[in-house]
Amino acid sequence: MEKQEKRTLTGCARLRGEINVPGDKSISHRALMFASLARGRSQISGLLQGEDCLATLRAFRALGVHVDTQDHTRLCVHGAGLAGLKEPADVIDCGNSGTTMRLMSGILSAQPFFSVLTGDQYLRKRPMKRIVEPLGKMGARIFGRDGNNRAPLAIVGGSLTPVKYSSVIASAQVKSAVLLAGMQTEGVTTVYEPHLSRDHTERMLRYFGVALESFSGGAQVTGPVEMDGRDLVVPGDISSAAFFLVAGLIVPDSELLLKNVGVNPTRSGIIDILRQMGGSIELLNEREQCGEPVADLLVKSSQLSGIDIGGELVPRAIDEFPVISVAATFAAGVTQISDAAELRVKETDRIEAVCSSLNKLGGRAEPLADGMHITGTGHLNGGSVSSFGDHRIAMSMAIASLRTSADVTIEDTACTETSFPGFWALLNHIRQD
C-alpha cells in the first residue's frame, strides 16, 4: 500500500448511534471464489469492497471469469465452472491478503495451467509452508522463496490425489486451501484441526449444495464437486464491528447499535471475551442469512475487568486481539493472552506491534512468546504511534485514542482500506464531543 496518511485524533465525551459495518472479509473472499467456480450467474450483495477482497476479484478476472460490478457492494459473477478458469497472462497480485494467496493456492494447484502469486512487502514475509506442505502431499507443485515458504509462489497446476491431513495449527486458511484443492480432486479429502477455526468455507460449500461433511475436529469433501451459481448476501464483519464494540464499552456514557453483523460461533469469540470482562453486549433480531447466523449488537459502556484468554477461544477471536488489548488497558486488573503465537505471523507481528504501541502511550503491555500480559491502567497518554502497515493496529490505536488524555497521531493509516473502507467517517459519525 503506497499511500500513507498520518492522522491526529482527540478523545471524545461519548459515542451514540446506529451503524452498519462493511461486509465480512472472509465471507466476501469465499463468495467471490465459490461464485467463480460455480456454473452460471451468482448475484452477490453486501460484498466488502476492501483492498483484500478486490485482490481476489482481480485474480478471478485475470483467470477469465466475467464479473459485472453493479454498485459499490453488489456484483454479478458469471462463473464458468471448475473447468472454466484460464491460464493468467501475468503474475497475480494478492496485495496484503493472506486469504487470497492461501486459498487461491488451493484452487490453482488443481488447475491445468501455470500461475504465479505475489503480494505486498508484508505478505511476501508471511509463511506459506503451512499450505505448500499439505497441498504438496496431494501432489501439488508449488515453488517459492525460502525453501517454498515465501511468495512469490509459482504453481504448476495439475491433477491431485486426495489426502487425510492433520494440521498442527487451527487455521481456516490452511483448512480451506486443502478443501478447495480437494473439491477439484477425485476421491475423499479430509482435513483435521486442533481447534475449530472459522467454518465459512464449509457453510458456503453446503449453501452451494455440496455434500460437505463437518465433524468435531475437521471437515471432509468428496470431489470433484459440481456447483451452480446462487445468490449470496454477505453479513457485516464482526471483526470490523469489534472496534466499535470496544469503543462503546470503554467510552463512558455510550450506546451503539451495530446492525446486521455476522455472529457465526467460530467468529464470535470477541463477544464471549468482552462479556466475560463485564461488557454489556446484547444480541437482537437473531436470524440466518445464506447459511450464516446474523444479529444486531447493542453495546453500552461498562466497567471491565481483566481475564485469562487461551485455548479454543483464540481461533474464535484471532483477528480481534489488537483491539482486545485496548479493552484490557481500560479494564481493572490483568488480562493474560496465551496460545496465540499465530499473532506473530499476521499482517505484522501483532504481539510486538500492540505492546510497543500501548507502552508508547503509557500503557503496560508485556509481550510473551505466545501472547501478552496486559495490566489495566485505566488511562493512556497522547503521543505518536505507527500502524506498522497493519489495518487492525491502525484501527485499534484509533479506538484507544478515544480515551487518551491528549492527542494521538497515527502514522500510515491508509492501510485501513484493506478491510474497512469508511472507518474514519463512521468513527466521526458516532462521536459526540
**Residues with catalytic function:** 319
172 binds ligand S3P (CB under 6 A): yes
- Candidates 171-179, 285-293, 368-376, 402-410: pick the segment binding ligand S3P (CB under 6 A): 171-179
Asked whether the beta carbons of 389 and 348 are under 8 A apart, the reply is yes
| Interface segment toward ligand S3P; rule CB under 6 A; list 119-127, 165-173, 180-188, 246-254 | 165-173
Q: CB of residue 419 vs ligand S3P: minimum separation in angstroms?
A: 8
Which residues, 22 to 81, sit near ligand S3P by CB under 6 A? Answer: 26, 29
Alpha helices, DSSP H only, in 38-149? 51-62, 98-109, 129-137, 145-148
How many beta carbons lie within 10 A of that of residue 289, not counting itself?
Answer: 14
CB of 173 to ligand S3P, least distance (A): 4
Q: Which stretch binds ligand S3P (CB under 6 A): 120-128, 169-177, 289-297, 394-402?
A: 169-177
The yes or no reply on residue 197 touching ligand S3P (CB under 6 A) is yes
Closer CB to ligand S3P, 44 or 318, in the complex: 318
Smallest gap from residue 177 Cβ to ligand S3P (A) = 9
* CA distance linking residue 379 with residue 197, whole number of Å: 34
CA Rg value for the chain: 21
Q: Which is nearer to ligand S3P, 5 or 342 (CB)?
A: 342
DSSP state of 236: B
Three-state DSSP state, 332: strand
CB of 432: closest distance to ligand S3P in angstroms? Answer: 32
Among residue numbers 87 through 126, which ones bind ligand S3P (CB under 6 A)? 99
Choose, by CB under 6 A, the member of 173, 220, 240, 266 that binds ligand S3P: 173
| First CA to last CA distance, the chain | 32
Nearest residue (CB) to ligand S3P, 67 versus 131:
131
Query: 135: which residues sit within 8 A by CB, 6+ positions away?
Result: 105, 106, 109, 142, 160, 177, 178, 181
Query: Closest separation between CB of residue 22 and ligand S3P, Å?
Result: 14
Segment near ligand S3P (CB under 6 A), from 166-174, 211-219, 256-264, 358-366? 166-174
Size of the site for ligand S3P (CB under 6 A): 12
Residues 289-328 within binding reach of ligand S3P (CB under 6 A)? 318-319
CA angle 87, 201, 315 (to 5 degrees): 120
Give the shortest CB-44-to-ligand S3P separation in angstroms: 16
Name the 3-class secondary structure at 89. coil
The nearer residue to ligand S3P, 254 or 419, going by C-beta atoms, is: 419
Q: Does 349 bind ligand S3P (CB under 6 A)?
A: no
Output the DSSP codes for 122-178: TGGGS--HHHHHHHHHTT-EEEEHHHHTEEEEEEE-------EEE-SS--HHHHHHH
CA atoms within 13 A on the CB side of 426: 21
Quote the CA–CA distance of 10 and 428 in Å, as a whole number.
Answer: 11
Taking the CA atoms of 269, 275, 279 and 280 in sequence, report the sign of the dihedral they define.
positive
Let me know: does 244 contact 269? Beta carbons within 8 Å.
no
Q: How far is CA 107 from CA 83, 112, 191, 376, in A?
A: 11, 11, 16, 45
Shorter beta-carbon distance to ligand S3P: residue 173 or 301: 173
Contact positions with ligand S3P (CB under 6 A) in 329-348:
342
Residue at shortest CB range from ligand S3P:
26
Q: Are 130 and 150 in contact (CB under 8 A)?
A: no
Q: Does 226 bind ligand S3P (CB under 6 A)?
A: no
Contact region with ligand S3P (CB under 6 A), list: 78-86, 172-180, 275-283, 286-294? 172-180
* Residues of this chain that bind ligand S3P (CB under 6 A): 26, 29, 99, 171-173, 176, 197-198, 318-319, 342
